[in-house]
Structure 1
Amino acid sequence: MLDKEKPFESIDRLSKQLGDVFSMNFGNERVVVISRDRLFREAFLKDGHNFSGRPSLFVHESCWGKGHVINDGPETVELRRFFGNFIRQKLQGKSGKSLQEIVDEEVEQMIQRVDTNLAKGENQLDIEDAVFYAIGNVMTRLILGRSCPHGSEEFRQSAAWLKTTTELMERTAPLTFLPWLRYFPFKGFGYWEMKKQARKVNQMMMDDIKMRRQTKEYLDQSNNDLTTNLLRKIDEIKQNDLQKKDPSLKCYSDEMTARIMTEMFFAGIQTECGTFSWAFLYLVEFPDVQERLRGLIHKTFGQDGKVHWSERQKIPYLEATVMEVQRCANIAPFGIFHRNRQEAILDGYQIPKDSIILMNIWSTMRDFQLFPEPEKFNPERFLTKDGSEIDKDSLHGLYPYGIGPRICLGESIARCELFTVIGTLLQKYRFRKIPNVEYNMERKMQLIIQPDPYKLVIERVC
């Protein structure tokens, strides 16, 4: 029933036929599909605790184990508290360099690399390749406390597991609901390759943890990356035998740290690179938006000033453009499956306890009642009439990071990166299509909705 490349359109078509709450069988499992902003708010905000559970996901659990993303209960609450504190410290610059300073340094390296290539006469740019090193290094510095040179083949090779894992996740998707298919001929839908890949990646993370423990570098108070903080927390809990007093602290272990490292790298790099790819496709497809943005950036920050997330109120059109890219691209149209912990009544329908819940985020991003002419790329839709600020009422239905208690923990990191990188690139360069080359704006879903690879003509403007 579902279009393989565009399941989001199939699901949304069914929601229009059957209603904003309906159920369908995915293999042996009954899945409840929830659509539209009004029900998202009722389920994931008003009854957020109930609908913030996670169902058992066979492939993820059997290959990667339960990290944070699909974990449930008190341990998840504890981990989210820990991550939230870590991210707040980075945003405020209370533990080493602030997130903005880290992003600034990586953006500067990206600009230097692009300028070097331009000086060599290379005026065609692969956007995803350019931002890959900047975003990858931001995540590496936050998670591991180190980085690699931009353009480094070592970094590209060390991160190759991200692409391999993405491809395997797409192949193994049917096993989530039909796990017996792993015994099917033709390599069992990639399941056994996935197990091998997971062991390899987990060992890579565990080796890093083992090295830190052997050298005791994590005890150096000048180190403030996430892994270092987790290892210190584990030591503190062991030394004080705190798990007996608080069972939720069992989530702190070397094994769990390895899983968390993997999840954060995967979620933080893949989705961001995909969003940047869509952003510049839209900016060359709508050059008037690009030119207007560049003029506003030069007026607000000058040609050499730093484009900073903390000063977004000065240039709401840039923030609105990022929002419109996220709405139109809608790279994660379903988010991650949820589970309701208790029976619930939603829109008059009884939702049995422990139902698998699918968020039809596509339905909100394309709701013509919330976003008139939803297929049109129009950043102004998020601004007040005079264009002086973001219209808060226009944000209903815009959920690129999800909604409720399980909203993406990396939201603030992603928003800072998107604003800073897009703003800085537009400040320095003009982008246009390569003549006689077709650019495909069609949305096709792999693990996320990504555009086909492309390059753009680039020129320095200041």
Structure 2
Amino acid sequence: MEVAIGSQPVLVLSGLDTLRQALVRQGEDFMGRPDLPSFRLIANGQSLAFSPEAGDAWKARRKLAQNALKTFSIAASPTSSSSCLLEEHVSKEAAYLVTKFLQVMEEEQSFDPCRYLVVSVANVICAMCFGKRYDHNDQELLSLVNDSNEFGDVAASGNPSDFIPLLRYLPSRSMDLFKDINRRFNMFIEKIVQEHYATFNKEHIRDITDSLIGHCQERKTAGEDTNLQPSNQSIIAIVNDLFGAGFDTVTTALSWCLMYAASYPDMQKRIQAELDQTIGQERRPRLSDRGTLPYTEAFILETFRHSSFLPFTIPHRTTKATALNGYYIPKDTCVFVNQWQVNHDEKLWQDPSAFKPERFLNAAGTEINRTESDKVLTFGLGRRRCIGESIGRWEVFLFLTTLLQQLEFSLAPGEAVDLTPQYGLTMKYKKCERFQIKRRLPSNGSL
């Protein structure tokens, strides 16, 4: 359907077939981004995710970001028994969280796990991007990660002033905040990138930032087409994108997983029984366990579907005049992709408002039904699909299984939980300070 937001017509796409047709089969036609004033503030207008640019230089930068992300997540870990670097980073942070949760629980009797989750998840992407881990009390990191909520509120589906030009001349608290967050974010990343330049050694690539700098220098030496070469500024923008996308989505997904686990204790017990039977207590979960924990995987998929914490993708734009399902769509039309509708479509899901992980399992409950799981939309589709999708999924799996293997989550007695999502770029539930946890006693697999 078409709606008018202010002075701008916006096309809203719903329905799985329509989305696949537009974003996959006609991907080139729908891969643009609208040139919104608020988007120009992100990473100084150089953001891969938000930039209206979609030409060869953009494709080269996206490929570069993808390769760097892959290298520093699935690369073998030289120092531990983990199967890859991502597993090593997540295992360390998850082990830290177990200790931290138990300590906070003892002191406060109930608490909000999200404020600790966000720093641990940010630390995983920090380890990959910057080769360092921050203390949970580090003020610089804390202020940045906590500001990400404000960022999401403004970036959700554009700011009113993006669509009503007159508003750009009026004072706006949310826009001032948005500008300030982006300025501080850029400064934070820029400082780290400059430090990397100062200590760069091409024989010893430490992290994603080093990898991007090295690639930049190699290209210059090889004298490749300068228009396609990433500049120092675009390195900062790529790191900014990876860091920004790398923690808010995963934190939100994990916080929903814990909320559903606490709200549905029988499901939590079933995940723990599966963990006890498959892994036991002697070792921590690994990425290689994913295929052998079907119910856990189904629970995560149902969390993604039911919460639909990414209700819309970042807005798209048509790159040329095109036709979709028999309708003419002019060039430069702003397009909203409605993932929430697909995840709650009664034609696709039986009783979509119920939380039922079993819907993703085969009849025997031993395997994930891939036809069903492919219908869940979280990370977009087509050319602009999130480049960190597989890493995000792995992180959620590893954090959740490590926490549930050792801890039992519940809500304080009499606590009525409001699972209505708060609208934003990622939808979160209302702040809940009433989580309680206790350590699980080692069992003999008879849970």
1:303-355 Cα distance to aligned partner (Å, 9 max, x none): 23221222211011111100100111111111111122232221211122222
SS at match of 2:437: strand
Question: Which of 98, 116, 121 matches 1:135?
Answer: 121
| 2:363 counterpart of 1:385 | yes
Letter in 1 for 2:194: K
**Contact preservation (8 Å) 2:262, 2:409:** yes
The gaps in structure 2 that reach 5 residues or longer are 79-83, 442-447
| 2:25 counterpart of 1:46 | yes
Letter in 2 for 1:141: A
Number of the residue aligned with 2:444: none
**Contact preservation (8 Å) 2:30, 2:316:** yes
Distance 1:301 1:123 in 2: 30
Distance 1:194 1:353 in 2: 29
Q: Following superposition of structure 1 onto structure 2, how do residues 404-423 of structure 1 map, counting pairs within 5 Å?
A: 404-423=382-401
Assess, with a 3 A threshold, how the Cα gap between structure 1 residues 369 and 189 changes in structure 2: closer, same or farther: same
| 2:438 counterpart of 1:456 | no
TM-score normalized by structure 1?
A: 0.87
1:399-444 Cα distance to aligned partner (Å, 9 max, x none): 1111112111111111111111111111111111102322111122
SS at match of 1:130: helix
Distance 2:113 2:234 in 1: 34
Q: Which is further off, 37-46 or 435-444?
A: 435-444
Q: CA deviation at 1:364?
A: 0.5
**Contact preservation (8 Å) 1:109, 1:150:** no
Distance 1:100 1:38 in 2: 35
Distance 1:52 1:89 in 2: 26
Number of the residue aligned with 2:81: none
Number of the residue aligned with 1:341: 319
SS at match of 2:161: helix
Question: Which of 60, 67, 73 matches 2:47?
Answer: 67
Number of the residue aligned with 1:103: 90
1:201-225 Cα distance to aligned partner (Å, 9 max, x none): 32232222222223xx222543332
Assess, with a 3 A threshold, how the Cα gap between structure 1 residues 200 and 84 changes in structure 2: closer, same or farther: closer
The gaps in structure 1 that reach 5 residues or longer are 1-21
| 2:417 counterpart of 1:439 | yes
Distance 1:366 1:36 in 2: 10
SS at match of 1:368: coil
Number of the residue aligned with 1:9: none
| 2:63 counterpart of 1:81 | yes
Distance 2:356 2:204 in 1: 45
Number of the residue aligned with 1:12: none
**Contact preservation (8 Å) 2:408, 2:440:** yes
**Contact preservation (8 Å) 2:77, 2:88:** no
Letter in 2 for 1:66: Q
Q: CA deviation at 1:378?
A: 0.4
1:217-274 Cα distance to aligned partner (Å, 9 max, x none): 2225433321111111222223333234xx222xx12212222222222222222222
Distance 1:170 1:388 in 2: 38
SS at match of 2:38: helix
Letter in 1 for 2:48: H
1:168-217 Cα distance to aligned partner (Å, 9 max, x none): 55697112212331211xx2354344334433332232222222223xx2
| 2:312 counterpart of 1:312 | no
Q: Following superposition of structure 1 onto structure 2, how do residues 258-337 of structure 1 map, counting pairs within 5 Å?
A: 258-337=236-315
Number of residues of Structure 1 aligned to a counterpart in Structure 2: 432
Distance 1:278 1:342 in 2: 38
Question: Which of 220, 224, 227 matches 2:206?
Answer: 224
SS at match of 1:51: coil
**Contact preservation (8 Å) 2:102, 2:437:** no
| 2:163 counterpart of 1:191 | no
Distance 1:92 1:281 in 2: 29
Question: Which of 121, 125, 131 matches 1:145?
Answer: 131
1:67-116 Cα distance to aligned partner (Å, 9 max, x none): 11123211221122112222332343258652112211221222232344
Distance 1:164 1:392 in 2: 36
Number of the residue aligned with 1:203: 187
% identical equivalent positions: 26
CA RMSD of aligned residues (A): 2.2
Assess, with a 3 A threshold, how the Cα gap between structure 1 residues 36 and 226 changes in structure 2: closer, same or farther: same
Number of the residue aligned with 1:5: none
Question: Which of 66, 74, 90 matches 1:92?
Answer: 74
